[in-house]
Amino acid sequence: MLLDGRVVIVAGVGPGLGRSVAVRAAEQGASVVLAARTESVVKDLAAMIGDRALAAPTDLTDDVAVRRLADRALAEFGRVDVLVHNAFAMPPMQSLGKVDLADVGTSFEVNVLAALRTIRHLTPALIASRGAIVVVNSAVLRHSRRPFGPYRLTKAALLAATQNLASELGPKGVRVNSVAPGWIWADQLRGWFEFQAAQRGVPARQIYDEVAATTDLRRLPEPDEVADAVLFLASDLARGVTGACLDVNCGEFHH
């Protein structure tokens, strides 16, 4: 198994990708620490995974809370081998010329500073285990479509941070990589496509097919497919990889 005996913290557990990462990591032999702001989400998922899961409700924008997360993980399992940072906040879908900068700041706090905060508090444990960090970024890095400008701004900063951290932590034995998913075919996207279909008076499948037609594989990646890319980068299969950003978008963009 890819992560047998490892301890993986998943920061930003939700109903989609974060959940898939946690479940797949457990299936690959890891003990998992589940961190998210909503207590019921992490407790329900921990109950489903079983004894090797720790529910750790955490506000990742709160320095004290993140320090407590690190302490709880070490107290429970004695080590941390992998941090997967999946938390994000979407700013308004507006042009950079019109968006409220306070809203961009709120998104930046979650998308960039929360990641940096979490990594900082877990760095000593990851150095001790010669571990790995995988940060979930976005395919928004690969295009400049106008409504996505504020989101791209935060994700570009996140990529810069992870690349610098790879250089800073590499000599200490810690690898730092990113995954950049495109569309992820899960409940949230289904709901959005259904809304678009209702607005246009067409079947939801037509919306899916139109979007999928922009990818080489003519389909959209599912959460488990993105999660598997995360686990690859977290595992020893990627022991020679750091500072990389792996696109998982079924060929929508080439980079």
Asked if residue 174 and residue 154 are part of one domain, the reply reads: yes
Question: How many structural domains does the chain have?
Answer: 2
Q: Is residue 148 part of a domain?
A: yes
Longest dimension (CA), the chain: 57
Asked if residue 141 and residue 23 are part of one domain, the reply reads: yes
Active site residues: 151
By residue range, what is the domain housing residue 22?
A: 7-184+222-247
Express each pLDDT in 183-239 by its tens digit.
999 988 899 899 999 999 999 999 999 999 999 999 999 999 999 999 999 999 999
Parts of the chain with a pLDDT under 70: none
Asked if residue 58 and residue 12 are part of one domain, the reply reads: yes
Asked if residue 74 and residue 33 are part of one domain, the reply reads: yes
Residue 146 confidence (pLDDT): 85
16 and 38 Cβ atoms separated by less than 8 Å: no
Residue 17 confidence (pLDDT): 95
What backbone phi and psi angles, to 5 degrees, belong to 126?
Answer: -70, -35
Residue 153 confidence (pLDDT): 96
Asked if residue 141 and residue 88 are part of one domain, the reply reads: yes
Residue 192 confidence (pLDDT): 87
Residue 109 confidence (pLDDT): 97
β partners of residue 196: none
Q: Is residue 115 part of a domain?
A: yes
Residue 183 confidence (pLDDT): 92
Asked if residue 130 and residue 155 are part of one domain, the reply reads: yes
